[in-house]
Chains A and B, each alone.
Chain A
Amino acid sequence: MAEHKSLTTPPANSDVKVVPSQGGHDAGHGTAHTGQPAHGAAFPPFETHTFLAQLIWLAISFGLLYYLMAKIALPRIEAILHARSSRLATDLDEAQRMKSEADAAGVAYETSLRDAQGKAQGIAQEARAKLAAESDKRRKDKEAELNAKIAASETTIRESTARAMGNVREIAGETAASIVERLTGHAPDRDSLDRALGAVH
């Protein structure tokens, strides 16, 4: 069997090789040929005597690969992807929660600001009203005082005037009596003097 004495040392000329017979014929005529693809040359993918070895190595290497993928690689990658997506989900939740918290705080701030503004306005209003009332009262007091003073002054003036007018009449009477005495030589009686002064007036 030609198949059984394979792996013979290659011929000295490395281009020359023994062409295996096709179809499992044991008559392996050692047809030497130079590198050209001569007719009947072995086509490596169809050399059946290499199949078993290739299948064995394929089974071992692919089995090893399958084992590594199924037991280590894929569970690990799946865990990584799962961890990432859950991490993202919790982060998003957290962000959502924080955002709603911030919104609530904003709303609370707005409310308290409005309250404070309202209160401040109330206080201002009150203060303004109080001040206005106070100043009003003071003004009224002052006015009343002033009015009283005016009234007192007016009374004084009227009294002084009256007194002055009285004095004027007396002086006028005396003056008229003395004028009449000088002119007529005798003092006029009080009645006619009063009548005359009344007529002038």
Chain B
Amino acid sequence: MAGSIDPAHQVALRPDPIHQFELHSLVPFGHIGNQQIAFTQSALYMFAAVAVITLITIVATSSRSVVPGRMQSLAEIFYEFIADTVHQATGDEGKRFMPLVFSLFMFVLVLNLFGMIPYAFAVTSHLVVTFGLAALVIGVVVVFGVMKHGTHFFGLFVPSGVPKPLLALLVPIEIISFISRPISLSVRLFANVLAGHIAMKIFAFFVVGLFSAGAWGLLFPLPLFLTIALTALEFLVAALQAYVFATLTAIYLNDALHPGH
């Protein structure tokens, strides 16, 4: 398959709203089976996100000042925000999951915001990435839940105080709802980012398209303002989806800590 991971960078303007999601191989490594292994711009953005988060949370806090500077304040605000979220969802025992939820929140937030930079690539617009993160969350929930509560963890699927005959109906529903968690968690983030970027690109190209349509060009402010509004909305979505991802992670982790219904 030659198409998807282009070795050459083609930043040329193309009215194709899907083009922006293509992966570009920066360092090709070859193949495993039919899998194409390469260091892509997506991987580069992932490591850039790690670098930015490290800058905020480690480099900026290295002076450990009692009166924080701007960057240290930022790190403290993020920390307290996520610590509050985790504490609200899971109580005191949830503190051990703080690094996981914090890393997920910062990773998703920074990647989403990277995607808002013009010409930049939105890593979270790839389902496999968001699904990988969601699978990690559910994996931690299941593994930790079974380790801590043994088979009692599966009481999660058995609502208490329900008559036996109804259980035959409810248990499958609970299992399906549990299995759909990683799917909904990943698809929510992926679809939001993907749809937002497609919408922005389409409306932006309406502006260009109207200019080449004679008198219709006078209408160009309409899609222009829509694009501006959509950009603002997408910034909101970028932050909100990171928050939603972190909050849902904390709520799911609460099931691992307290599996009772």
Contacts and interface: CB of A to CB of B under 8 A. Distances in A.
By CB atoms of chain B within 10 A, which of A17, A49, A69, A81 has the most? A69
Interface string A48-84: 0111111111110110111011101110111111011
B230 interface: no
B46 A61 contact: yes
B162 interface: no
A188 interface: no
A179 B38 CA distance: 180
B4 A42 contact: yes
Interface string B183-199: 00000001000100000
Interface string A130-142: 0000000000000
B4 A49 contact: yes
B36 A58 contact: no
A17 B197 CA distance: 22
Given A62-B133, A66-B99, A37 B106 contact: no
Contacts of A73: 53-54, 57-58, 61, 75
Given A4-B31, A49-B1, A69-B102, A41 B6 contact: no
A45 B128 contact: yes
Interface residues of B, number: 68
A5 B127 CA distance: 25
A65 B18 contact: no
A87 B66 CA distance: 9
Contact of B50 (A53, A56, A68, A70): A68
A57 B43 contact: yes
A50 to B, nearest CB: 6
Contact of B79 (A6, A47, A61, A77): A77
Given A44-B22, A52-B37, A73-B57, A7 B126 contact: no
A7 B132 contact: no
Given A19-B3, A49-B35, A80-B72, A61 B49 contact: yes
29 contacts: A4-B31, A4-B34, A5-B2, A7-B36, A7-B38, A9-B7, A14-B8, A15-B12, A17-B2, A20-B3, A37-B18, A43-B21, A44-B4, A45-B194, A52-B35, A54-B40, A57-B42, A58-B132, A62-B46, A66-B100, A68-B50, A68-B58, A69-B103, A70-B99, A73-B75, A81-B76, A81-B80, A83-B64, A84-B66
Interface of B: 1-8, 10, 12, 14-19, 21-23, 25, 28-29, 31-32, 34-40, 42-43, 46-47, 49-50, 53-54, 57-58, 61, 64-66, 68, 72, 75-76, 79-80, 98-100, 102-103, 106-107, 125-129, 132-133, 136, 190, 194
Interface of A: 1-10, 14-15, 17-20, 24, 28, 35-37, 41-47, 49-59, 61-62, 64-66, 68-70, 72-74, 76-81, 83-84, 87
